[in-house]
Amino acid sequence: MTVQTNYYELLGVSRDADGPTIKSAYRRLAKEYHPDRHGGCKDQEAKFKAVNEAYDCLKDPQKRAAYDRFGHDAYQQGAAGGNPFGGGQGAQDFSDIFSSIFGDFMNEAAARGGGRGQAAAGRGSDLRYDLELSLEEAFAGIEKTITIEALAPCEPCEGNGAKGESKPETCAQCGGAGRVRAQQGFFLVERTCQRCLGTGLSIADPCPQCEGDGRALKKRKVSVDIPAGVDEGTRIRVAGEGEAGVRGGPPGDLYLFVHQKRHPIFMRDGTTLVAECPVSFTTAALGGEIEVPGVDGEKIEVRIPPGTQSGETIRKRGAGMSILRQKGRGDMVARILVETPTKLSKEQKDLLQQFRETETGEECPNAKGFFSRIKDML
């Protein structure tokens, strides 16, 4: 009985490693053991296949969960060609029928997708960029130039992964299809070719700069138009600005995730802007006007009705945020906070004392009603 190496140990990662860590370890080992770098050495090829098998399992959450629970036993039945319905000649016959029905169709699909049977080069990964905007930028919209570091076509080999004048050749294992089929019980399973990693091409003399990957890390600037009205969590897709594809494959996309900077005056709730506005108790009692600087730079006049209570709100229609990809604006809400004076002159204290001596209780009906209920309780 062959003892199989633990997949985590094989990749050199811990059992709680996340996806990016596992992917990074796999890529490093795949480059190290790739048969093209070792002149077709059988031992290196076996290590290369084992690394691919481990990554194929651990990159898939469902397969990984099954492996964590059952180990290699989770796949022994399929790998050994076991048949859950009893095995025997019937399973083989079913496989032959399956192959005859779908085999030609799969070949034709590969030819259409990859061009003369050769697999299309792998698409590049999508990228995420967290973009922080001020409230004013989100209101008006803006063109932002950002700097990203991502895999780009390798300049020395022009992205094909081959050194100098040499060129990639059709992979001998998959015939350029990038996929291979294998029998598992009575099913015919199609998988990515482990020798060429699905590219359909084999490189005998890899580029020393990118080690045959055809890509290298590079910083570049990207200009992005941010529409007016974007909010916290808005996602903006920039097509074709992600990582470069493998050996000339199409690039991925860039996704911008908008984050809102804290504003000194306004709190944002969708298209509504809320401003907490402290006013003196005399303004609240007698009424008056205050000015609030709008997000568009224009001053907003807010009229305070006489007798305004602390916490009351006054709404100004059309003075809020822009509406994303629509005309019009939301509202601005002024939340009134009545401030009790803490520094009074002697004259002011005397005037307030005179006012208190004239109070009848009718001036503040809420306070009068509250203390009346307390009196009844006692």
- Annotated binding residues, written as ranges, equal 154, 157, 171, 174, 193, 196, 207, 210
What's the gap between Cα 64 and its chain centre? 22
Question: Which two three-digit tokens encode residue 34?
Answer: 């790739």
Q: Which residues define the annotated binding site for Zn(2+)?
A: 154, 157, 171, 174, 193, 196, 207, 210
Helices within 115-238 (DSSP H only)? 135-140
Longest distance between any two alpha carbons in the chain, whole Å: 109
Q: CA triplet 25, 31, 32: central angle to 5 degrees?
A: 90
Q: What is the DSSP letter of 369?
A: H
Residue 55 · residue 67 · CB < 8 Å: no
Pairing of strands 187-192, 142-153: unpaired
The SS3 call for residue 52 is: helix
d(CA 277, CA 213): 60
Please provide residue 249's backbone torsions phi and psi, each rounded to the nearest 5 degrees: -70, 165
Give the number of C-alpha atoms closer than 13 A to the C-alpha of residue 182, restricted to the C-beta side. Answer: 13
Question: Which two three-digit tokens encode residue 271?
Answer: 């298209």
